Amino acid sequence: MVVTGAGGGIGSLVVGRFLANGDTVVATDLSEEALGRLPDPTGQSLHRLPGNITSEEDCAAVAARAAEVGGRVDVLVNVAGYFPTRPFDDMTAAEFREVVDVNLTGAFLMIKAVTPQLRGRGWGRVVLVGSASTFEGVPGQVHYVAAKAGLFGLARSLARVLGKDGITVNVVTPGLTLTPPVRAGMPPDFIAQQVGLRAIPRDEQAEDLVGAIFFLASPDADFISGQTVNVDGGKHML
């Protein structure tokens, strides 16, 4: 299986869950240093490959590595994301494109790269990590919210395209999750405010997402496709 954004707070836990399940994981991230911190309990099941999800060549290399070490790709979990804050009036077209490239185009490229292997097996799982910010909008993240909203259309359309091949495509939408980038980039009072807006009034941790992702990647989710599973403590009830 392949996990993108594997060096981050969410991605690293996803990698750990699948390794604990006995899976062979190809972990890719822009940061080679972050990949180096990923533990591999067996010393054989984790394969680290630095790469840029916006590069077709890098995505192809990840898919090829997965085929080499595992014989096939059967699961893709796309966690890679980039969420800078920028007022709309100051946002440039180049900044908008950069955020869309990582959050939406990168997902397309990675799916495109692994699809032949998924089809070859006749069974596959694609799980895309979106954002619950798409349900309400965020003034300082117009580019990010627009890109993450695009994942819904991508997943639903690909679910139609790939369903006949035994491949499901779904989205998991986390709320504001206390990963290191969020702690560093968001005001503490804003983070605290989110707690009071949730039906389950506590901080959201990266660990809260792993179960939903693991379920959608499992045989138990054989008949679920084109769906959005929202994991934000009940802030948004869809």
* CB burial readout 182-193, b (16+ within 10 A) else e: beeeeeeeeeee
**CA separation for the pair 218, 127 (Å, rounded):** 11
* Helices 142-162 and 93-100, packing angle to 10 deg: 40
Identify whether the C-beta of residue 210 lies closer than 8 Å to the C-beta of residue 41. Answer: no
**CA separation for the pair 146, 186 (Å, rounded):** 19
Angle at alpha carbon of residue 127, lines to 160 and 83, rounded to 5°: 115
**CA separation for the pair 228, 194 (Å, rounded):** 21
Per-residue DSSP letter, 132: G
Taking CA atoms, 183 is separated from 7, 16, 82, 177, in Å, by 16, 22, 15, 9
Identify whether the C-beta of residue 66 lies closer than 8 Å to the C-beta of residue 26. Answer: yes
**CA separation for the pair 146, 139 (Å, rounded):** 11
Q: Is 82 a catalytic residue?
A: no
For the chain, the C-alpha Rg in angstroms (whole number) is: 17
Annotated catalytic residue: which of 144, 214, 216, 235?
A: 144
**CA separation for the pair 166, 174 (Å, rounded):** 26
Name the residues annotated as catalytic: 144
